[in-house]
Amino acid sequence: MDLKTIIISQYHAALEMLRLAIARCPDDLWLDENYANRFWHVAYHALFYTHLYLQPQEEDFSPWEKHRERYNYMGPTPWPPHEKPVADVPYTRDEILAYLDHCRQEVEARVPGLDLHGPSGFSWIPLSKVELQFYSIRHLQQHAGELCERLGVAAGVDVPWVGHGPAAD
């Protein structure tokens, strides 16, 4: 099994765990404002950066058709004046699941053509492209895990571990 096949498999596994969390989230928890970032917002953030870091370089990125300006940030912007963007119009579960499907397709389309030995392609990330893929998968899984934990604590909902995705064709 080659490295790109492994990367694809691990993206699919992390995306599947996020999909399960989204699908099992009770409606009231989806919009619960008792958390610094609502469930839907964490899911959107994780998917946005998954989508972004699959691109060869930042200039190649074209946001998802339903992207809302600055909704990808969960805290203050990294540049002055470090304002926290307002994300006050929630995405629906169906919209987030559609974006997740788009990200799955991007994994299949983009990973085979990535130059894993080249630079990340993103000025703010001083890593190689292969390390960026591990970085991105860890980011995705961190937020999937966060949402799984939230489901368990707040709603008693369990999400099973997904160890690997389907093999790439």
Q: For the segment 8-23, what is each residue's pLDDT rounded down to a tens digit?
A: 999 999 999 999 999 9
pLDDT at 168 over 70: no
- Averaged pLDDT, 111-121: 97
Q: Is the pLDDT of residue 167 over 60?
A: no
Decide: helix, strand or coil at residue 113. Answer: helix
The average pLDDT across 46-57 equals 98
Q: How far apart are CA 33 and CA 100, in angstroms?
A: 23
Structure tokens at 77: 């912007």
Identify the burial level of 27 via C-beta atoms within 10 angstroms of its C-beta, where 0-12 means exposed, 13-18 middle and 19 or more buried: exposed
Query: Residue 75's pLDDT is what?
Result: 92
Direct distance between the N- and C-terminal alpha carbons of the chain, in angstroms, rounded to an integer? 12
Q: Tell me what pLDDT residue 18 has.
A: 98
Instruction: Tell me: pLDDT of 55 over 60.
Output: yes
| pLDDT of 1 higher than 80 | no
From its phi and psi, is residue 118 left (phi > 0), alpha (psi between -120 and 50) or beta?
beta
> For the chain, what is the mean pLDDT?
95
Distance in angstroms (rounded) separating the CA atoms of residues 13 and 19: 10
pLDDT band at 85 (very low <50, low <70, confident <90, very high): confident
Closest CA to 57 of 119, 4, 144: 119
pLDDT band for 162, please (50, 70, 90 cuts): very high
Q: Distance (Å, rounded) from C-alpha 104 to C-alpha 122?
A: 21
Q: Which residues, including other chains, have CB under 8 Å from residue 71's CB and lie 6 or more apart? A: 41, 44, 45, 48, 85, 87, 91
Confidence of residue 141 (pLDDT cuts 50, 70, 90): very high
User: Rounded distance, CA 67 to CA 152, Å?
Assistant: 29
